[in-house]
Amino acid sequence: MAGWAPDDSNLNTTCPFCACPFVPLLSVQTLDFRPSVPSPKPAPAGACGSKDAPDPGGPGPVLSDRRLCLALDEPQLCNGHMGGASRRVEGGAWAYLSPLVLRKELESLVENEGSEVLALPELPAAHPIIFWNLLWYFQRLRLPSILPCLVLASCDGPSTSQAPSPWLMPDPASVQVRLLWDVLTPDPNSCPPLYVLWRVHSQIPQRVAWPGPVPASLSLDLLESVLRYVGLNEVHKAIGLLLETLGPPPTGLHLQRGIYREILFLTMAAMGKDHVDIASFDKRYKSAFNKLASSMGKEELRQRRAQMPTPKAIDCRKCFGAPLEC
């Protein structure tokens, strides 16, 4: 967001590390869990529950059992269905528009086709860039809309005579929209996010999984050391440890994301978003950066992607809410 220009005709943003212009993409994956035939007789209570769920009336999980706690905390996916195989998976990537560009495109669409087009089930297929960007912003700002209903209504369903209620009565509650930190694709030239590696090493369930190999140097001991330094208010040691482990460019491990983002998201994944004060973390990271800059130099830290986010990026985060789900 911080790299967008105040121009309603410019789709480019700029890379925060090399300042090169590029068109960002909004990746979308749709999972359909609705039944394709009328629902059978109701299953016994608890039959669809997680196998990790405790017996009714039995003792609950202890807080140290992170895997079990997260499994119990996992919300329902859709229509009360708990984590079964989806009937259909659809995906795609469209241009991620700035609010100015999106407003211009939306005004043009309404002017040419009328405001009724915004409520038609054909909108996602006919104008996917506008639709998915609208859904993204409404969800990010937590604004009510009928857009989730259009996701449901746009899917090809069974005939009306055989359709169960989830097909016949589109309801926003029947669609769950999740805004995730990353869309993970295997890249032999880069390493996965640290929060993903932490969950892989800790065997904690996650909504997105890294499909490629895990670098041996990014071990669980390393991640726990980073978290320990953050907890001890020694963020400069956490940054230094990561820089030493990754190695200098271009021969070292390529970090697609910045050091700031990696440490912050790792801390949030390990501790929980509600237990991390981002403003306090920013102050500690800035102090750590200045301390390292006195010995390494700001330019070297910038080249190794260890700089703080720009004030514009921090303002964007304040306006559009805290970081997303992992």
User: Cα separation of 316 and 3, whole Å?
Assistant: 10
For residue 114, name the pLDDT band (cuts at 50, 70, 90): very high
Residue 6 lies in a domain: no
Assess whether 127 and 207 both reside in one domain.
no
Considering only CA atoms, which of 201, 196, 311, 205 is closest in space to residue 262?
Answer: 196
Q: Of 316 and 326, which is predicted with more confidence?
A: 316
Q: pLDDT tens-digit profile of 243-300? A: 999 888 777 787 778 999 999 999 998 888 888 999 999 999 999 999 999 999 999 9
**DSSP of 82-141:** -S---SEEEEEEEE---HHHHHHHHHHHHHHH-GGGGG-TTHHHHSHHHHHHHHHHHHHT
Assess whether 53 and 131 both reside in one domain.
yes
Residue 7 lies in a domain: no
Pairing verdict, β 13-14 and 21-22: antiparallel
Q: pLDDT tens-digit profile of 186-225? A: 666 667 889 888 888 887 766 666 767 777 888 999 999 9
Assess whether 198 and 170 both reside in one domain.
no
Q: What is the value of pTM for the model shown?
A: 0.73
Domain count for the chain = 2
Residue 181 lies in a domain: no
Assess whether 225 and 279 both reside in one domain.
yes
Assess whether 316 and 224 both reside in one domain.
yes
Range of the domain at 314: 194-320
- In three-state secondary structure terms, 27 is strand
User: Cα separation of 79 and 35, whole Å?
Assistant: 10
Domain-terminating residue out of 174, 207, 233:
174
Considering only CA atoms, which of 304, 183, 176 is closest in space to residue 243?
Answer: 304
Assess whether 238 and 169 both reside in one domain.
no
- Dihedral, CA of residue 199, residue 25, residue 257 and residue 99, to nearest 10: -110
